[in-house]
Amino acid sequence: MGLKKEKVLIVEDNEDLLNSIKEFLLKEGYDVSCAVDAEQAFDMVIEDHYDCLVVDVLLPGINGFEFVEHLRESLINVPILILTALDAINDKVRGLSCGADDYLTKPFDFRELLARIKSLIRRSNITKGEEINFKGLKLNSRSRQVTVEDTVLKMSKREFALLELFLRNPGIVFSREEIMEKVWENEKIIKSNVIDVYILYLRNKLKPYGYDRYIQTVPGYGYRFCEE
């Protein structure tokens, strides 16, 4: 008997995009279901278990934001990735505030979609406060400690949050704007290079142990944590 496939529900009213995403995820080994509006999707979520939801914002009738809020009010904690053509920061903030776990702006590369789905499912399988161990680099969200073997690495609040973001989302490219939203929680940053400075701080603290090389710069965009 093979391994049980992870189940993904796509909620998208654009038939061409819906079918393209479905075909791609099926080829990647997922069990994929589809819904074209929020009402249909809600009934499906109530009746079955899904490992991740991919939800378009601009749905007919109840929009994606309202749908996610309804799910959270119903105590349904499935990981949710919002798809939006709205690039304004207020719309991204609204998406995260309504209960979504991540967002992806259209148009997007399907490989990026896959990386984010994998990340959300991985994170949902990790109990909050449990230790993340990446090749001997250990981060514990409960104790707020980072260790290599028996050595504790002293880190500031921002450095710790930055490292946790990377470790929980390997392979995903984060723009400086996204890092600002997730680590600085949309606080106003006066100096535009503050994120680059903190990346440098983090790399310097990881460098003696060889982990700095996993934090990669993506020219003209941002950063990612590469597992290889």
Q: What is the CATH number of the domain that holds 215?
A: 1.10.10.10
pLDDT at 168 over 90: no
Select from 105, 124, 143 the last residue of a domain: 124
Tell me the residue range of the domain where 198 lies.
131-225
Distance CA 183, CA 170 (A): 16
pLDDT tens readout for residues 171-191: 888 888 888 888 887 566 556
Distance CA 125, CA 130 (A): 10
For residue 219, what are its two tokens? 């020219």
Same domain, 156 and 95: no
Q: Check residue 225 and give its pLDDT.
A: 93
- Residue 163 neighbours by CB under 8 Å, 6+ apart: 139, 146, 155, 202, 206
Q: What is the CATH number of the domain that holds 80?
A: 3.40.50.2300
pLDDT tens readout for residues 117-147: 999 988 876 654 567 888 899 998 877 889 9
pLDDT tens readout for residues 85-121: 876 666 677 778 888 999 898 889 999 999 999 999 8
Average pLDDT, the chain: 87
Amino acid identity, position 38: A
